[in-house]
């Protein structure tokens, strides 16, 4: 039995946590009268079993008990953009906690400094250093978390190579999680390109070489028959979101096998930083069924299975075991986000598990929702409704057909016309040319609804001339395919051509922001999947938007979680798009923007979450009852705060 060198006989019980989504308190100290001391019999006080039963699974036999308190709550701030106040003490209002609302974990001394969830580095106070056996293990200086942020940003800005910044950020995530999130939340525009696209793409390509500590859960063919056991090896039990990839189509970079792990890790960092979901509730997973990437197979530093990809039954059986184990282990309300699967599996998995699990395909549905939002906002510049526009896509995979379908759904609902009718103004070009009815027999099922009557056309530029689109959308995964001639033709056809180059990372973008503005003589309404800096053209500054699903999935997921939703419905995607488009203000339009700046992303995510949750309640898919009255406030107040807790 472990012994714990402490003399605390009470643990604070925060009654507000018994409420699933209590009203935000006007001041955190209002909570204090509700805190009850809970006294345990002496025999229980030293029992590691008791501690485990209270929700801690980090019992250190040599350690002391570390109790997080809210005795010095931070001043509540009225906004959520720069890290919210920790109203609930444990950032857990999205969590079902009917009986054990404790905040408790176990570590001390050296172990505490190496526990990323509790380490505060130089920010440990003198009192904490005494109480937790840290004296001598740290240099004497005590600094604030704000100063730590300043120092870290200073260090990061000195690195010239983006990959160095990525590695420094991953290192921070693995040593001091709260500091990592504070940095990311407070510097989101600067750091998003580091932990996310484009740098995460390069990180995945070089993952084998830069790999220091494993992050996330690796489930390979070797784990077949044991996936439930593997899930149980993960230290956190209360999982709310899983992002899973099989690495076959990482961004526009292709098959990166097991090294695709950078993507679920990055996406989940955004779930926390942008959407406020607690890091401990997030589980990144990579399914390794091999890779067809010869370069990786021959790379001595490759970290995955050294075999060609399993397909067919072998593949579906492993995926099925995974999906079944997830539901068995975490229940029905865990969000499973599919990420960067190749087309053929992505559509099949979504269709197969859409009726039994809470699944969401970010590349099909998240991308569709963000692009629809951008188009709704762009109407402000071009006028009319979506039904008055003609759309041409380069790329007919997950993103292309997903966006096309959501546009058609929105048009069909708004104009009250059948979906088939709404699809007629939407055209797609794939690697073989315009998708037309004469190709219907030979194309994949997800392309068939877009095979309209027209003579075959091979080249994109000829398709632009023939179809005369008002909106051109690139989802091809191939860089520099919107040539000067293509953009110029769009500009000849339209006073304000809408051009979206969505492929990631930057190297795969169909054209750059500068090309779009220059070739259209400053008339294009442009957005891209990966970020581009503002462009000066003839004395005017153009701010390109980042049409990236990062605007959608964090808030969307939060909406699902806070309402206890059990299935995703397309109407929730439409609700998310509308919520995002509504965030555009006059000041944004003046700069030609069709997406709001990322610096307000937590507010944006809360709005999206509220709208998604409201739709879920309306559709009868939400299980968390009764429905909170003020969903947006509920979303904001349930967001994770990266501020340090005080330990006693
Ligand atoms: O990760 C991103 O930046 C967007 C995305 O889902 C993709 O390109 O596959
Ligand atoms: Mg993706």
pLDDT in tens, 392-444: 999 999 999 999 999 999 999 999 999 999 999 999 999 999 999 999 999 99
**Strand ordering across the sheet containing 525-528:** 433-434, 426-430, 391-394, 471-474, 498-501, 525-528, 545-546
Cβ partners under 8 Å of residue 192, min gap 6: 270, 531, 550, 598
Q: What is the DSSP letter of 536?
A: E
Q: Kindly report the number of other CB atoms within 10 A of residue 440's CB atom.
A: 13
What is the distance between the alpha carbons of residues 32 and 335, in angstroms, rounded to a whole number?
A: 34
Ligand 2 centroid from CA 251, angstroms? 6
Angle at 606 between CA 416 and CA 119, to 5 degrees: 150
The minimum-distance atom of ligand 1 relative to the CA of 196 is 3
Ligand 1 centroid from CA 340, angstroms? 7
Ligand 1 centroid from CA 509, angstroms? 12
- Catalytic residue, chosen from 17, 120, 206, 267, is 267
Q: Are residues 513 and 535 in contact, defined by beta-carbon separation less than 8 angstroms?
A: yes
The minimum-distance atom of ligand 1 relative to the CA of 252 is 8
What is the distance between the alpha carbons of residues 49 and 53, in angstroms, rounded to a whole number?
A: 6
What pLDDT was estimated at residue 108?
86
Q: Are residues 490 and 472 in contact, defined by beta-carbon separation less than 8 angstroms?
A: yes
The minimum-distance atom of ligand 1 relative to the CA of 266 is 1
Q: Is 196 a catalytic residue?
A: yes
pTM value?
0.87
What is the distance between the alpha carbons of residues 188 and 603, in angstroms, rounded to a whole number?
A: 13
pLDDT band at 97 (very low <50, low <70, confident <90, very high): very low
pLDDT band at 648 (very low <50, low <70, confident <90, very high): confident
- Catalytic residue, chosen from 166, 196, 330, 353, is 196
pLDDT of 113 above 90: yes
362 lines ligand 1 (CB under 6 A): yes
Residue nearest to atom 3 of ligand 1 (CA): 197
Within 176-282, residue ranges assigned H as helices are 177-186, 188-195, 199-205, 207-210, 227-233, 262-273
How far is CA 339 from its chain centroid?
10
269 lines ligand 1 (CB under 6 A): no
Ligand 1 centroid from CA 339, angstroms? 8
- What value of ipTM does the predicted structure carry? 0.99
245 lines ligand 1 (CB under 6 A): no
pLDDT of 314 above 90: yes
pLDDT of 44 above 50: no
Give me 150's structure tokens. 């300043």
- 363 a known binding residue? yes
What is the distance between the alpha carbons of residues 556 and 567, in angstroms, rounded to a whole number?
A: 12
Residue nearest to atom 6 of ligand 1 (CA): 363
What pLDDT was estimated at residue 472?
98
Among 509, 529, 595, say which to mutate for ligand 1: greatest number of ligand atoms within 8 Å of CB: 529
pLDDT band at 77 (very low <50, low <70, confident <90, very high): very low
Give me 54's structure tokens. 């209270």
What pLDDT was estimated at residue 81?
42
The minimum-distance atom of ligand 1 relative to the CA of 249 is 9
186 lines ligand 1 (CB under 6 A): no
Q: Is 267 a catalytic residue?
A: yes
Q: Kindly report the number of other CB atoms within 10 A of residue 567's CB atom.
A: 16
What pLDDT was estimated at residue 104?
52
The string of pLDDT tens digits covering residues 572-626 is: 999 999 999 999 999 999 888 999 999 999 999 999 999 999 999 999 999 999 9
197 lines ligand 1 (CB under 6 A): yes
Q: Which residues are paired to 471 by β-bridges?
A: 391, 498
The pLDDT of 636-648, averaged and rounded, is 93
Say how many residues make up the chain.
648
What pLDDT was estimated at residue 213?
87
* Higher per-residue confidence, 98 vs 618: 618
pLDDT band at 211 (very low <50, low <70, confident <90, very high): confident
Residue nearest to atom 2 of ligand 1 (CA): 197
Residue nearest to atom 7 of ligand 1 (CA): 251
548 lines ligand 1 (CB under 6 A): yes
Ligand 2 centroid from CA 264, angstroms? 9
What pLDDT was estimated at residue 620?
98
What pLDDT was estimated at residue 107?
76
Ligand 2 centroid from CA 429, angstroms? 21
The string of pLDDT tens digits covering residues 122-160 is: 999 999 999 999 999 999 999 999 999 999 999 999 999
């Amino acid at each position: 039995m472990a012994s714990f060198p402490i003399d605390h006989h009470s643990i604070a019980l925060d009654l507000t946590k018994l409420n699933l989504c209590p009203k935000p308190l006007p001041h955190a100290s209002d909570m204090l009268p509700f805190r009850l001391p809970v006294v345990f019999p002496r025999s229980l006080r030293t029992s590691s079993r008791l501690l485990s039963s209270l929700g801690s699974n980090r019992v250190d036999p040599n350690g002391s008990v570390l109790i997080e308190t809210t005795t010095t709550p931070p001043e509540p701030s009225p906004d959520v953009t720069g890290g919210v106040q920790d109203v609930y003490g444990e950032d857990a209002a999205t969590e079902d906690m009917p009986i054990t609302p404790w905040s408790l974990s176990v570590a001390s001394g050296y172990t505490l400094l190496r526990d990323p969830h509790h380490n505060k580095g130089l920010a440990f106070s003198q009192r904490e250093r005494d109480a937790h056996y840290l004296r001598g293990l740290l240099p004497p200086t005590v600094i604030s978390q704000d100063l730590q942020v300043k120092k870290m940003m200073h260090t990061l800005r000195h690195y010239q190579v983006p990959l160095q910044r990525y590695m420094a950020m991953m290192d921070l995530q693995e040593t001091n999680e709260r500091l990592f999130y504070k940095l990311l939340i407070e510097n989101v525009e600067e750091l998003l390109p580091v932990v996310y696209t484009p740098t995460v793409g390069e990180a995945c390509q070089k993952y084998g070489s830069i790999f220091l500590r494993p992050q996330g859960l690796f489930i390979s063919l070797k784990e077949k028959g044991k996936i439930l056991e593997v899930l149980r090896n993960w230290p956190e039990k209360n999982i709310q979101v899983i992002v899973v990839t099989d690495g076959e189509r990482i961004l526009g970079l292709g098959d990166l096998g097991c090294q695709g792990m950078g993507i679920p890790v990055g996406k989940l960092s955004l779930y926390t930083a942008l959407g406020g979901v607690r890091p401990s509730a997030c589980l990144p997973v990579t399914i390794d069924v091999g890779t067809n990437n010869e370069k990786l197979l021959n790379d001595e530093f490759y970290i995955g299975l050294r075999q060609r990809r399993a397909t067919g039954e072998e593949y579906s059986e492993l995926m099925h075991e995974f999906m079944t184990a997830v539901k068995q282990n975490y229940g029905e309300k865990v969000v499973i986000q599919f990420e960067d699967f190749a087309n053929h599996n992505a559509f099949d998995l979504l269709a197969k598990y859409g009726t039994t699990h809470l699944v969401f395909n970010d590349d099909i549905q998240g991308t569709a929702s963000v692009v629809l939002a951008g188009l709704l906002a762009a109407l402000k510049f071009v006028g009319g409704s979506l039904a008055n526009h003609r759309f041409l896509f380069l790329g007919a995979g997950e993103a292309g057909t997903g966006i096309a379908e959501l546009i058609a759904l929105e048009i069909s609902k708004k104009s009250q016309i059948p979906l088939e009718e709404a699809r007629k103004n939407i055209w797609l070009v794939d690697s073989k040319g315009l998708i037309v009815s004469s190709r219907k027999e030979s194309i994949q099922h997800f392309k068939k609804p877009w095979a309209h009557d027209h003579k075959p056309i091979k080249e994109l530029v000829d398709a632009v001339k023939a179809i005369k689109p008002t909106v051109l959308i690139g989802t091809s995964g191939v860089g520099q395919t919107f040539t000067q001639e293509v953009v110029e033709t769009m500009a000849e056809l339209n006073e304000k051509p809408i051009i979206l180059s969505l492929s990631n990372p930057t190297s795969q973008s169909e054209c750059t922001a500068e090309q779009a503005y220059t070739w259209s003589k400053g008339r294009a309404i442009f957005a891209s999947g990966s970020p581009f800096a503002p462009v000066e053209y003839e004395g005017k500054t153009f701010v390109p938007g980042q049409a990236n699903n990062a605007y959608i999935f964090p808030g969307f997921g939060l909406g699902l979680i806070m309402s206890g939703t059990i299935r995703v419905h397309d109407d929730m995607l439409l609700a998310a798009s509308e919520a995002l488009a509504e965030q555009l203000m006059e000041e944004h339009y003046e700069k030609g923007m069709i997406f709001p700046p990322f610096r307000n992303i937590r507010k944006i995510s809360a709005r999206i979450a509220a709208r998604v949750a409201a739709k879920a309640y309306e559709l009868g898919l939400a299980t968390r009852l009764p429905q909170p009255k003020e969903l947006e406030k509920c979303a904001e107040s349930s967001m994770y705060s990266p501020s340090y807790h005080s330990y006693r």
